[in-house]
């Protein structure tokens, strides 16, 4: 079964969350989704979304977590343990917006992923090259370096998810072509396989302008195990069309 996660980023409020989750729950009740579904709202909405999603076959995830175990004096941070307490099963770590805007390194992303695993969360570890890196022919090398540096050592025994999100495709309406996606996912799959036997296998998500009209083709590519959706996850009809495109 594929996995479709919606990253709301810094969007939404209590009213929007209530309406969106109710709409998704109704769709799920009418016809069971073709994929596992994860909703990643802003942190302050997590308890509300988790309560609304409970028992509806909708999972909840955070958008980031601290690399510190806590509790402690880390103003503005939220620990993986707190996310778990808020009802999360997943957490996104190393999103390109955090790597670019907050200078997050591979080592920090790995530390966050380790905290997530220790707290009982499944980390969705994001990697992806910039346009400049792609144009200069470095895309594969950059992504390989990110995967090598960001994956926890324990990734072979615990469930981790990798999301390939080319930076130039995020929020731009420019989707990677199915060929681009197939090629990069093949590279990542081979790299992960090279780490040794995977128990269980690592799902590879694609993210970057996934929309209802391109989802089916992207999701049909080999080694694409689901999607990490930004903008289109804010509208129930669009998000659900992507979920259904995995059928
Ligand atoms: P868009 O789907 O808006 O391009 O965002 C992708 C993304 O960054 C999901 O994490």
Q: Is residue 103 packed enough to be buried (19+ CB in 10 Å), middle (13-18) or exposed (0-12)?
A: exposed
Domain extent, residue 117, equals: 3-68+76-245
Does residue 207's CB lie within 6 angstroms of at least one atom of ligand 1? yes
- The residue assigned the tokens 């808020």 is 86
pLDDT value of residue 199:
66
CA angle (58, 46, 50) in 5-degree steps: 35
Does residue 128's CB lie within 6 angstroms of at least one atom of ligand 1? no
Give catalytic residues, as residue numbers: 95, 165
The whole model's pTM is what? 0.97
Structure tokens at 9: 């980023």
Number of domains in the chain: 1
pLDDT value of residue 92:
99
Ligand 1: nearest atom to the Cα of 92: 10
Dihedral angle of Cα 163, 148, 159, 22, to the nearest 10 degrees: -20
Residue 186 has pLDDT above 80, yes or no: yes
pLDDT value of residue 201:
85
Does residue 61's CB lie within 6 angstroms of at least one atom of ligand 1? no
- CATH number of 137's domain: 3.20.20.70
E strands, 51-109, in order: 59-62, 90-93
- Residue 156: pLDDT band with limits 50, 70, 90: confident
Compute the average pLDDT of residues 174-194. 94
Distance of alpha carbon 136 from alpha carbon 194, whole angstroms: 26
DSSP 94: S
Dist. CA 127 → ligand 1 center (Å): 12
């Amino acid at each position: 079964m594929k996995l479709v996660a919606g990253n709301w980023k810094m969007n939404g409020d209590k009213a929007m969350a209530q309406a969106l989750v109710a709409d998704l729950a109704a769709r799920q009740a009418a016809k069971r989704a073709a994929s596992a579904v994860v909703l990643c709202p802003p942190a302050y909405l997590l308890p509300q979304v988790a309560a609304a999603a409970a028992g509806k076959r909708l999972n909840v995830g955070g958008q980031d977590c601290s690399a510190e175990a806590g509790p402690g004096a880390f103003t503005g941070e939220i620990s993986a343990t707190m996310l778990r307490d808020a009802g999360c099963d997943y957490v996104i770590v190393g999103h390109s917006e955090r790597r670019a805007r907050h200078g997050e390194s591979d080592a920090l992303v790995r530390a966050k992923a380790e905290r997530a695993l220790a707290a009982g969360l499944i980390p969705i570890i994001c990697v992806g090259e910039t346009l400049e890196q792609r144009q200069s022919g470095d895309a594969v090398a950059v992504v390989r370096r990110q995967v090598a540096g960001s994956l926890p050592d324990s990734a072979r025994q615990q469930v981790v998810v990798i999301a390939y999100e080319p930076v130039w495709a995020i929020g731009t309406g420019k989707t990677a072509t199915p060929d681009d996606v197939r090629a990069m996912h093949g590279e990542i799959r081979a790299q992960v396989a090279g780490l040794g036997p995977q128990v269980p296998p690592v799902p590879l998500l694609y993210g970057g302008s996934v929309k209802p009209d391109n989802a089916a083709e992207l999701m049909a590519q080999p080694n694409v195990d689901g999607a990490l959706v930004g903008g289109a996850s804010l509208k129930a009809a669009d998000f659900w069309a992507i979920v259904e495109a995995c059928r």
